[in-house]
Structures are given as C-alpha cells and as structure tokens.
Amino acid sequence: MNQKELSEFLDAKVRQYEHPRFLESDPLQIPHRFAKKEDIEISAFLTATIAWGNRKSIINNATRMMELLDGAPHDFVRNHQEKDRKRLLPFVHRTFNGEDLMFFLKSLQHIYKNLEGLETLFTTDEKNGSMQPRIAHFKEVFFSLPHPLRTTKHVSDPLRGSAAKRINMFLRWMVRDNAKQVDFGLWKGISPSQLSCPLDVHSGNVARKLRLLRRKQNDAKALIELDRNLRKLDPLDPVKYDFALFGLGVFEKF
C-alpha cells in the first residue's frame, strides 16, 4: 500500500474499533464506571499499571482494586491512613502485589495532597514535543518517597529504553477527546499531537506488517520510529491509530 491507501485502510479500522463496544472487553471500562474527574484518573492510572496479560484477568483484578478502595478511589487516596493500606496486602496481579499497591497509594496520596494531582505532573506549557521526557519526570517524582526497590519496575522510564506502553496508554485515555465515548479528554493542557502510541506485541507486529515499523524490539527506539510514521498519517492525532493496530492484531489476527 502507498501512504494514501494505508491512511484510508487505517482510518477505516479506527472508525471500526473506536466505539463504546470496544469497552466491553477492554480494561478502559474500569474508569468509565466513575463520573468524578479524580476518580477517573486514579482508577485509570491503577488499571493501566496492571494492564498486561489476559484482559479478563486485568479487568477482574482492577475491579478488585476499586473494591479495596471502597469504590471511591479519590476519597481513599486523600483520606486513608497508613493502617488502611494494610487491607491491600493480599492483592496480586502477576508480579504486581500488595506491597506495590500499598506504595502506589502512599505516593498517590502525596501527589494529590501536595502536588495538585496526576494531571499537574504530566501537564507542560510546551505545546509541541514528545511526552516521553514528562513520563521520565513523573517516575522520578512518583518514587521520591521511600519505596520498595522492586516496585520501581511497575512504572516505565522511556529515557532508559522502555516503550512505556502502559503509561502511554493511560495518557491516551486522559488526553484524547471523548467524542467517540471511549477516551476521556479530561486533560486539556496536553495536545493529542504530543502523545505516543501504546506499543506492545500486538500493535508492534501489525505495525511491522504494514511497514510502519522496522525495528524488531518493542522499545523506546521503536516507539520513536512508530511515532514518526503515524504522525505522517495524522500529525494532530497520531495515537488514534492505536485502535486500528490493536484491533487488527487482537481481533483480526492480522
């Protein structure tokens, strides 16, 4: 396919998959259960954090997390005491366990009480440029409190070679508009043009078949290459193609 044909093909797949029915089997359904901005972004961040592996398991465990937070994540984050975090200890999703979750809630409390919330940490006055340095800065702030060393692996750092799939996915959820009732469009200080595609095995394999990506590893260098090629197709909203790449890979076995 030439670029025009590729653009038309992928745009059609975006229209097919960027639809509320997408939520029926996607972890993004978890933050859609909330109406309050802070509840949405906290539940989205925690859900994205465990978004690897079997999607049914992700949804079940993210639901369990919200139950442990009394169905009110922002209220729990703001008002819980250290003793309240002990109820989180039995939680486990693959390698993310209760000890990790306990620290995440401790750090989120610091962020919402002292740093004006998650949005402030990610939002920049710059209207252009990649979000990847901001993700690295976020990780630095997130782990500025004393923390278990093992927990740091659950927030990726693109400046150390990671594609940071889960954080990029979280940012897509927060930033892209909600016209299709899928993403939320809550964070107005970040332009969709700054976002990067959540690169994983599914989107990576499809991107290679479509010659949007040549690098074999799904790492930070591959993300830069994919970003560059998706911006050629739509410089204002390149991450909309996440729906096409993911849908082609997961649902169509492209």
DSSP of 25-62: GSGGGTGGG--SHHHHHHHHHHHHHT--S-HHHHHHHH
**pLDDT reported for residue 124:** 67
- Count CB neighbours of 5 within 10 A: 9
Token pair recorded at residue 1: 């396919």
Specify the pTM. 0.95
pLDDT tens for each residue of 97-151: 999 999 999 999 999 999 999 999 998 655 557 899 999 999 999 999 999 999 9
Report which secondary-structure segment, H or E, holds 95: none
Handedness of CA 21, 24, 25, 27 (dihedral sign): positive
**pLDDT reported for residue 254:** 87
pLDDT tens for each residue of 148-201: 999 999 999 999 999 999 999 999 999 999 999 999 999 999 999 999 999 999
Report which secondary-structure segment, H or E, holds 96: strand 96-97
**pLDDT reported for residue 128:** 57
